[in-house]
Amino acid sequence: MNTPDIQPALRIKNVQEYYFSRKLRQISEMRQKGISVINLGIGSPDLPPSAPVIKALHTNALNPENHGYQSYIGTPALRNAFSTWYKSFFNVDLNPSDEILPLVGSKEGIMHISIAFINEGDEVLIPNPGYPTYEAATKLAGGKVRYYDLTEETNWLPDLKRIESGGLDRVKIMWINYPHMPTGKKATKEIYSRLVSFAYKHSILLCNDNPYSFILNDDPVSVFSAEGSMATALELNSLSKSHNMAGWRIGMVAGNASFINAILRVKSNMDSGMFQPLQAAAAEALNASSQWYNDLNAVYSKRRIIAEEIMNLLSCSFDPEQAGLFLWGRIPSGYKDAEDLTEPLLQKAHVFITPGTIFGSNGDRYIRISLCSAENVMNEARERIKKVTEEVIS
């Protein structure tokens, strides 16, 4: 019987399988052959959530009444916890009833926002380098990707005059992400004020993706610290990095009630709410004191020292002031691009480090080291790299 000619939708023609999906498959194949690969590429926290969070999950899961469908807008307890968290750590007031929407992970929120606001042919400003999901979500929603440059020369900040000079009549959304992934550039209230004024002037929805505020950063800042931001901005946040809950898939989007309602119209047709015990545990996580973040950062600080030593071994330069879960460094001039360094490291040292190439053309000459491995693992990676430096260093 002949296979019918059923073709995938045209919308996925220009969307590739996620880079880390492919790379993890390669690493798995190497391990199946008996090769011990150390993965310093992916930002998946290896530490657990706090004990009270686990207890809240367990306690609520024991209640038979908590296993049914939940509200599409999340439990009042979780929305209130997000609101209190923003007030306590960002000094931002958010109405838990209509300015906060819990999400099954903030990555899903990027897709929800794109579908809710992008019409066919609308342009979307996306940072280069930046998180690849912004591009994929834009294309899947029928939008047109328009990159804006972030470079060392501009201190990894957008050149708003240059963006403006290209015309903005078709631009609907601008994605920003501070502390920035992958470069670790921190945000300030002044930066957000300039971005909000720019977005308001040109009727652009400014979307700030903000999951790294608490990692190696003493001053968490929200886009909502800027005057007038509620009129033109949304902010995504997540418990993945800040509370070691990446696999739990718990995030949120905040903004004015009309924006949130538009996103809800998409979300409510794509999922059926979040498991109640997860929401209860997330609310518990958000009640953590400053000491939780201090203790977490004490661990990451020690790992960061080893990551810096690896960068130095590879003759890469880096900004010691960067924040977040990674270390971003510029490769020496002898390499064609970042993969010209990272692939030999994978094959000869059996250490995977992310090439900046995957984040856009402005990442071609950079690598990114994740801090999501224990000190002994990172030390082993450093020693492996030290043994092969003469083979891989240009």
pLDDT at 393: 65
CATH number, residue 339: 3.90.1150.10
pLDDT at 1: 65
Are 225 and 129 found together in one domain? yes
What does R_g of the chain's alpha carbons equal in angstroms? 21
User: Is residue 73 in some structural domain?
Assistant: yes
User: Is residue 55 in some structural domain?
Assistant: no
User: Is residue 59 in some structural domain?
Assistant: no
Are 276 and 301 found together in one domain? no
Look at the chain and count its residues: 394
206 by Cβ neighbours in 10 Å (0-12 / 13-18 / 19+) ranks as buried
User: Is residue 367 in some structural domain?
Assistant: yes
Q: Which of 286, 306, 324 is the last residue of a domain?
A: 286
| Identity at 362, one-letter amino acid code | N
Q: Which of 286, 313, 347 is the last residue of a domain?
A: 286
Mean pLDDT of 95-122: 96
State which residues form the domain around 262: 66-286
- Tell me how many domains the chain contains: 2
Are 233 and 316 found together in one domain? no
CATH number, residue 186: 3.40.640.10
What the block records as the tokens of 266 is 């998409």
| Residue-wise pLDDT tens digits, 243-288 | 999 999 999 999 999 999 999 999 999 999 999 999 999 999 999 9
Please count the other Cβ atoms lying within 10 Å of the Cβ belonging to residue 64: 7
Q: Which of 226, 256, 286 is the last residue of a domain?
A: 286
pTM of the entire predicted model: 0.94
User: Is residue 382 in some structural domain?
Assistant: yes
User: Is residue 102 in some structural domain?
Assistant: yes
Q: 15, 136 in Cβ contact below 8 A? A: yes
pLDDT at 26: 86
Mean pLDDT of 46-69: 97
Are 310 and 250 found together in one domain? no
Are 270 and 306 found together in one domain? no
Residue 362 has pLDDT above 60, yes or no: yes
CA atoms within 13 A on the CB side of 44: 9
pLDDT at 220: 96
| Residue-wise pLDDT tens digits, 134-172 | 999 999 999 999 999 999 999 999 999 999 999 999 999
Question: DSSP letters along 217-244, please?
Answer: -SS---GGGSTTGGGTEEEEEESTTTTT
Are 218 and 334 found together in one domain? no
Are 265 and 296 found together in one domain? no
- When mean pLDDT is compared across 16-25, 230-239, 244-253, the lowest value belongs to 16-25
Q: Residue 337: helix, strand or coil by DSSP?
A: coil
Mean pLDDT of 173-187: 97
Are 106 and 38 found together in one domain? no
Q: 356, 312 in Cβ contact below 8 A? A: no
Give me the chain's average pLDDT, please.
95
Are 307 and 334 found together in one domain? yes
Are 89 and 137 found together in one domain? yes
pLDDT at 392: 65
User: Is residue 3 in some structural domain?
Assistant: no
User: Is residue 71 in some structural domain?
Assistant: yes
Helices 290-313 + 375-392 axis angle, to 10: 20
Are 296 and 325 found together in one domain? yes
Compute the distance between CA of residue 76 and CA of residue 268 in angstroms, rounded to an integer.
17
Alpha helices in 151-256, H assignment, sequence order: 160-165, 189-201
